[in-house]
Structure 1
Amino acid sequence: MPRAILPLLLLVLLGAADAAWARTLSATITRVATPVATLEGVHVRLDWPEGATQGELQLRAARVDAPDLGYRFRDVDWRCPLRRDGQGGWRCDGQVRQQRGAPLRLALALAPGMAKVDAALSAGGQGQARLAVQYERAAPDLTRIDLVAVPVAWAQALASQAWLAGRLHGGTLDGTVRVHAPRGGPLHVEAPLTLGGVAFDTADGSIAGEGLDARLRIDWRALAGGPHVTVDGALRGGELLFGNAYVALPAHPVAVRVALQGGAEGWTVPTFSASDPGVLEASGRAALAGDGSVRSLDLALHSAAVAVLPERYLSGWLGIAGLTGLTLEGALSVELALRDGALHALALRSVALDVAAPDGRFAFNGLDGELRIVAGGSADSTLGWRDGALGDIAFGPARLPWRSRDGRLALREPVRVALLGGEVALSGVSLALPRDGKGMEMEGAVAVEALDMASLATALGLPAFPGTLSGVIPRMRYAGERLAFDGGLSMRAFDGEVRVSSLAMERPFGVAPTLSADIVLEGLDMQALTGVFDFGSISGRLHGEVLGLRLVDWQATAFDAELHTEKTRGVRQRISQRAVQNISSVGDASFVTSLQGRLLAVFDDFGYRRIGISCRLANGVCAMAGLHPRGAGFAIVEGAGLPRLDIVGYNRNVDWETLVERLAAVGSGDVTPVFD
């Protein structure tokens, strides 16, 4: 017999006994109706041999149905030795079975005249698990059930009335259940219960709980329009999963209250609340469809100390967003309304809120103000911050004036933010939060004015070099975790220009952000450039392009790069001894003749006609080329004048990580010239 049906079976057996015993010791009854259940095909038989001190009682029922509680039994059979108790009453203790079920033990005590009935149900192998029932003729509408370490699985059928998909697994119940079953009135169940180590889930794993402790008072009424349920009490410890929401409950009590009204179209939740003192207060109301989907939800959240929220309540969502380890400080309030699964209204209020992403990815400090979104009509709000950072790039304060209209949020006016000694101007920015299966979308324009390149390089861990970054992106768009930019940026650096176009980012705020771009270099002063990177001295003007650049988690995985010099009037083209050696060490190049190699020991620098090198990176390998083929290799440097020095590369396929290591060694001065 499934353990979940035992409380009801006990009530049904007592009702059947009460109906049959008063008539005969052997009876067949077609149908017995009780306030709790209906029995069909009932047969009661008592065998008491002549002169014996006890007899055998047998009760069988072909069908037992209790639709209000969700129980349906078949082929119920209880047998026990019946004897007098010496005080005018009776006792019977034996096994009870049901089709496809394991046997349990039922002990029954009947007071004289059936004035009182006491029953105790226990399960073999269940330790101290015990369910005791008391029934008194003086109060025929009330039955009391005492639970001691009863497995929660015994309540499966009753729980399925409110939650069809739920499956109860582990844990125990202690407490008292009072069943009011008045004739002509609705069934009413009251149950103050203590739950220990409860585990549950759904077949798809979208909802689950483990190790849950609770003290709850449950009130169940089987009304004509559908069951009405209230649950009031406290949760303590354990883990809960609801879709993407993962909750690790604290050791101290979290007060909860929920009221539910069942109906033909699903469940209405007139009120619910939860209180984790000092951490989170939640309240609201909801309506659920028959399949459990949310038809409507009004939710209010407030936290006066948000530092605990990520670990205790937000880790599931943060993990999906790639923000595990996010830290919060300050206070936050949220009011949310959903209608038919779509956002209807949102109000977010922050007070001195600090947000820091893991690994220093981004930070906002001193977030204050309000952000409001409404699906219909319009609403204005303002949210600002004291300062912040993207990686190691710090930015200044800002106040963002927002207007929400018909579910979309837009800046009411342009906003300027101090950044790297210059400014970033945002205009026309608007965004739509996720809805109808789509993620968040955003668009707007960005203007960058005179950002200091030395500060930017330092923040990126590069040698500081002079110059400024300016440009206008007339349109940027974020959708499907991809941030794309129209237009481009131009940077004045090393007395030349660097232009960036086709700029886009995938997962900019998530795991393994990916950047793609095309870069064009025009007329960079090689002497200033090589001086900054401590490469050795090369004078001249550098041109080139890096097309199809792709960075994954800020590491290059693909590009097609070509760099070359172009003769410019009034600009000398010389290359130092150290630069020659560094080019050779990085590119697996050599001097054309041993005589040229020996010239390094004599001259400090050399004239050159052209320098050119290219690299196409794919699958971790850089396919190298130069100015033109030269024998079995390719020319990197074409000398000019006397002494003439040519450099030729021979390794056309270089491991990218090895090449990066060589460049790093050159930058740190670990390469020492060798003279042949």
Structure 2
Amino acid sequence: MLAAAPAHARSAHARIARMTLPTGTMTGVTVDLDWPAAATEGALRLRADRVDAPDLGYRFTALDWRCVLRRDGWSGWHCDGPAMTRAGTMRLRMDLTDTGMNAMLTRGASSIRVQRGDGRGDATQVDLTAIPIAWLRGLVAKAWPAGQMKSGAGDARLAVTTPGDDLRITGPIALHDVGIDTPDGTIAAQGLDAKLDLDMMLGATDRVALRGRLGGGELLFGTAYFALAGRMGELSIDAEQRGDCCWRIPHFDWRDDGVLQTSGKATFGPDAALRTLQADIRSSDLAGLKAPYLTGWLGAAGLDDLAVRGALDARVDLGEQGLHAVDARVTGVDVDDPKGRFAFHDLEGDVRYSSDVPVESALRWTSGHVYGLDFGASTLPMRSEAGRIAFAQPVDVPMLGGYLRFDHLAVQPAHADAGASAEFGLDVQNLDIGQLAKALGLPAFTGQLSGRIPSAHYASQQLVFDGGLSMALFGGKLDVSALSMERPFGVAPTLSADIAFDDLDLESLTGVLGFGSITGKLDGYLNGLRLVDWQPVAFNAHLRTDKHAGTRQRISQRAVQDLSSVGDSSFAGGLQAKLIGLFDDFAYSAIGIDCRLADEVCEMDGLSARGTNSFTIVEGGGIPWLTVVGINRRVDWPTLVERLVAVGKGDTKPVVN
């Protein structure tokens, strides 16, 4: 248009519906030129309703560019001036020759430069300098429509070609402090840095290849969280998509300084959700692997403080219906929960799982503990078939002078819409209750713990036991039934159980508890017991002495004192109440106390009611006649616990009315 203008022309005006550029289009274009006669330069004004370069990621509306137009040699033109858009003011410089074009758009430190021709063949060179990462949203959307570019900046030197009907973009990219996410929040990144070589082909089949280094920030992918601050890994990835769906990765490789090496392939669904994955994973330093790569999964399981050491070599095959196969080998692995919930030492061996083909493996350890209960060396022979992994034979685990025998154990990994589950049977034989009490910080109980759990089931973070446990304790018997746990190794674990006891020897029991001295036998139950984070929040306790021929029933002055202190109680008996301090012990006919705990209040009761707010705890059985009466049916649970602790320390005083 300019070359055709007559030499005497002073002005020109043109309206163009659509202009096609090497990297995009302009629509609604108006061009005005004012070139005075005999002048060496003119004023050019170009307006466009819209400028689109979708493959490079920039789009402007209401463009208004004013520049001074000058000749550059015989056939060249140069124009440089401000360009205003609704997004703000920039500066646009353009050089045109009969062989090519050179244009640069700048805003502050950011610039986009486009060069075409001048010996470059069909290639268009695009240089991006310090551009806001949001300017790349169009380019990213070609490969990832759901990706939202939030923050950061980038540099690139890209070659754009159009082989056939395709568009190819190649060249180095540098990204700085990048933040991205998706509308559903399943993928997000913050503070990422990268230096990558890009090779992207867009057409009937889209292909993307990236090679380079990535790290320096945080990355979330589904339930996987990676903390890469201060780390840079080597990335190699190839991806392709036919039509509009769906992306597949025929090859990926990630290497992080010996901490982690992983490679494999993957496919994704229409919503970018992972559909299949085959990966080889190797780490010679599990301690170094934890912080950058495992914190997300461990945190979700309530194990964020877990300490782990050793080496891992694994192959994982995840199918559309869930886990298809695992072949993992561990060497010299120690796992230790600083909260004291569990530990395993010197783990060696392999774990193999297959959803179809039978496979065998074995895992062993030298020692460990669960909630302070030490156990010894054991080997777990395993066999996987029909989508389950199970013990190939019963397994004995030495513990507390006895042993645990797992008759069977089978694990069903998550598949389709069902979560992971497990089922096992357990025999408990001759565990030393003295060692158990010491490990749990309890008084020095004595006896043996034995029992059988025919079957226990774990699913959805809930462990439910069939059968029960029986203890030979204080010359009597204690049975545990209706036992279940929620989040056993997670946050705020919960335990529920019913406990019944029969013919416990009170002299032995009170001696251990430091509760004065009471002789006789005790029956009762603790039903509906519920512990949250190992603290009782609910139960229904019922305690009664049980008369046996030939068994004396006596209660010491100290025990009377302790009972009265704990239960808001008083003595009754007229003159005998005033003389009660003169005797060391007393005969009784019955002792009984109840407590129903709810909302941190114990609803108290005893042998019989003695008015609207009092009840009998100890009924006398001789001279001097002694009766201990509870005078408060509602007792604050924390206060009651403080009193029990004081009783154990001997810090109680008698209450005599």
> Structure 1-normalised TM-score?
0.91
Q: Residues 245-324 of structure 1 correspond to what in structure 2 (within 5 A)?
A: 245-264=224-243, 265-324=245-304
Secondary structure class of the residue paired with 1:311: helix
Partner residue, 2:9: none
2:350 to 363, 370, 376: 370
Secondary structure class of the residue paired with 1:583: helix
1:657 matched to 2:643: no
Partner residue, 1:490: 470
1:505 to 473, 479, 485: 485
User: Per-residue CA shift, 1:176-198, capped at 9, x if unaligned?
Assistant: 2222235x463221121221111
User: Counterparts of 1:315 and 1:482 in 2: how far apart (Å)?
Assistant: 23
Q: Residues 418-429 of structure 1 correspond to what in structure 2 (within 5 A)?
A: 418-429=398-409
Alignment gaps of 5+ in structure 1? 1-19
2:594 to 590, 614, 623: 614
Partner residue, 2:214: 235
Is this contact kept in 2: 1:68–1:222, CA < 8 A? no
Is this contact kept in 1: 2:569–2:655, CA < 8 A? no
Partner residue, 2:555: 575
Shift of 1:29: 5.4
1:171 matched to 2:155: no
User: Counterparts of 2:576 and 2:560 in 1: how far apart (Å)?
Assistant: 11
Is this contact kept in 2: 1:287–1:295, CA < 8 A? yes
1:381 to 325, 348, 361: 361
Shift of 1:86: 7.0
Q: Residues 15-414 of structure 1 correspond to what in structure 2 (within 5 A)?
A: 36-37=23-24, 44-60=31-47, 76-85=63-72, 89-97=76-84, 100-110=86-96, 113-123=97-107, 127-181=108-162, 184=164, 186-223=166-203, 225-264=204-243, 265-340=245-320, 342-414=322-394
Is this contact kept in 1: 2:604–2:634, CA < 8 A? yes
User: Counterparts of 2:466 and 2:180 in 1: how far apart (Å)?
Assistant: 51
Q: Assess, with a 3 A threshold, how the Cα gap between structure 1 residues 22 and 339 changes in structure 2: closer, same or farther.
A: farther
Q: How many pairs does the alignment contain?
A: 649
Is this contact kept in 2: 1:209–1:239, CA < 8 A? yes
Secondary structure class of the residue paired with 1:156: helix
1:524 matched to 2:504: yes
Partner residue, 2:541: 561
Alignment gaps of 5+ in structure 2? 6-11
Shift of 1:150: 1.6
Is this contact kept in 2: 1:35–1:181, CA < 8 A? no
Secondary structure class of the residue paired with 1:169: strand
Shift of 1:42: 5.2
Letter in structure 1 aligned against 2:239: L
Shift of 1:156: 0.9
Shift of 1:230: 0.6
Is this contact kept in 1: 2:565–2:655, CA < 8 A? no
Secondary structure class of the residue paired with 2:151: coil
Shift of 1:341: 5.1
CA RMSD for the aligned pairs?
A: 2.3
Partner residue, 1:3: none
User: Per-residue CA shift, 1:130-189, capped at 9, x if unaligned?
Assistant: 22233333324122222321211111101111111111122111232222235x463221
Is this contact kept in 1: 2:54–2:138, CA < 8 A? no
Is this contact kept in 2: 1:370–1:381, CA < 8 A? yes
User: Counterparts of 1:407 and 1:666 in 2: how far apart (Å)?
Assistant: 55
Is this contact kept in 1: 2:565–2:653, CA < 8 A? no
Shift of 1:616: 0.6
User: Counterparts of 2:549 and 2:457 in 1: how far apart (Å)?
Assistant: 43
Partner residue, 2:8: none
1:590 to 551, 565, 570: 570
User: Per-residue CA shift, 1:520-579, capped at 9, x if unaligned?
Assistant: 110000001111111111000000111111111111111111001111011111111100
Partner residue, 2:446: 466
Is this contact kept in 2: 1:379–1:403, CA < 8 A? yes
User: Per-residue CA shift, 1:286-331, capped at 9, x if unaligned?
Assistant: 1112221222211121111111233211222222211121111111
Q: Assess, with a 3 A threshold, how the Cα gap between structure 1 residues 651 and 285 changes in structure 2: closer, same or farther.
A: same
User: Counterparts of 2:277 and 2:440 in 1: how far apart (Å)?
Assistant: 45
Q: Percent identity?
A: 48
Is this contact kept in 2: 1:69–1:161, CA < 8 A? no
Q: Assess, with a 3 A threshold, how the Cα gap between structure 1 residues 66 and 214 changes in structure 2: closer, same or farther.
A: closer
> Structure 2-normalised TM-score?
0.94
Q: Assess, with a 3 A threshold, how the Cα gap between structure 1 residues 654 and 675 changes in structure 2: closer, same or farther.
A: closer
